[in-house]
Structures are given as C-alpha cells and as structure tokens.
Amino acid sequence: MTDRPTSPPVGPSVDTTPRPLPARVPHQGRAVTLEPLGVAHVPELWQASAAGTPAGDASWTYMGYGPFASEAALRGFVGGFATTHDPIAWAIRPHASGTADGWLTLMDIQPGNAAIELGNIWFGPKMQRSRAATEAMFLLMDHAMTALGYRRLLWKCNALNAPSRRAAARLGFTYEGELRAHMVVKGCRRDSSYFSILDDEWPARRQAILAWLEEANFDAAGRALNPLRATP
C-alpha cells in the first residue's frame, strides 16, 4: 500500500482483511506432533508432570494453574481447558517418547487486528530444552504467521520467568517492555514482559529456526550441534 504524509501522523496503512481463526486440527513435524488437547491425553500428561517431584512442581511455577494434586484434578482442568476456542490448546507428542508430554496454545486471537499470541506453554520436565519443545512452538508460530497470515505474534510472560525470556529471544521475538502489576497470579503480583514478531520479520526468523531443526544439526544422541538464536 502507498502511504501519504498526514498531519497529525496516523501510522502506515495496512491490509485490514480479518485473518482466519485457527482450527482445532493436528500439526505434524519431524520430531513432534501436535494434537488437539482432550481428556484422552490426561493419563500421559499426568505421568509427564512428574507429580510430587521438585522438577514436576517447578514446571508449574509461572503457570496460572497447577500443580495438580491428582490425576482426577488434572482431568477436571483439562476437561474445560480443551473445549475453549480462545485459548485453543494442543497436546504435544514428541516422537521420541510417543507420549503426550506437554501442551501449548494460540490465544488472545484478534482476527481484525491480525494479532495472535503463543502462550500457556507447559512442558513436562523430560520435554524441557528439547528439540521437540522447539519444534512444537515453531509449528504454531508458522501456522499463525505463514498459513493464516497474522501480522503480529505475541509472547508474554512473568517478568521473573528467566527461562521464558530466554526462549523468546532464542526464537527471535523482540522485547517490547513490561506492564507493571499487570496481573495477580496465585495470589502474587505479576509484572509481565512483552515480546513480538511482526510479519516482515517472520521470514528471516522462520528460516533460522528451520535451519536449526534440520537433521544435520543433531548428533546421534539428539543433541543440537549449533545453538539457535533467530534474532539477527
């Protein structure tokens, strides 16, 4: 589109066509499959949560829910969480384990603004810092930005969540700033850090992640030979 100077300035014109809503469908990768979340995943998710262990309990520290006291409690949560359309949730099934070991969502879906968020990311302890974890996030990022054509992909997290902040930078999100006293989570004040990728930045970010995910970047034990940092 051609932009003409205005006084006062109002910003560049954009394609105002509303973007499609994400569908509750599977997504297949090389190392992981995303399946629409459902209560059938609960027994595997309960095992993946390593319930009652320090690592298992720590995986819920910055989530708005959990840890869960029992498999029945997890089932009760998933029964509702899996039926919402915003957020829309997928279970993560790494091919190496064959079991559902976590979940993630697309949320705050704004078709008219072409904006969408990748969030509610929970990885069981054995899935953390794995190739499958990175590919799971990439599959939804690519679906939102490439397949559905969203203009803005958001990542936000508790400002104290250092691993999430590192993950955002690693995937190529740009830090935007913080909202102070943004939320109350589990009785505690939460300041939220905001990150984003825009549509004109996405092709380069996409290529960097795809290059990292190539088979040649992994040794026989599945360890990455080169680090990923998608931001130029």
- List, for residues 46-71, the tens digit of each pLDDT value: 999 999 999 999 999 999 999 999 99
Q: Which helix (H) or strand (E) holds 134?
A: helix 131-142
For 11-48, the pLDDT digits (tens) are: 899 999 999 999 999 999 999 999 999 999 999 999 99
For residue 205, which amino acid is it? R
Is the CB of residue 128 less than 8 Å from the CB of residue 112?
no
Q: Which residues contact 14 (CB under 8 A, 6 or more apart)?
A: 1, 114, 151
Domains of the chain: 27-217 (3.40.630.30)
Is residue 194 a contact partner of residue 176, using CB atoms and an 8 Å limit?
A: yes
**pLDDT tens-digit series, residues 133-143:** 999 999 999 99
Buried/exposed 34-43: b ≥16 CB within 10 Å, e otherwise: bbebbbebbe
Contact between residue 185 and residue 66 where contact means Cβ atoms under 8 Å apart: no
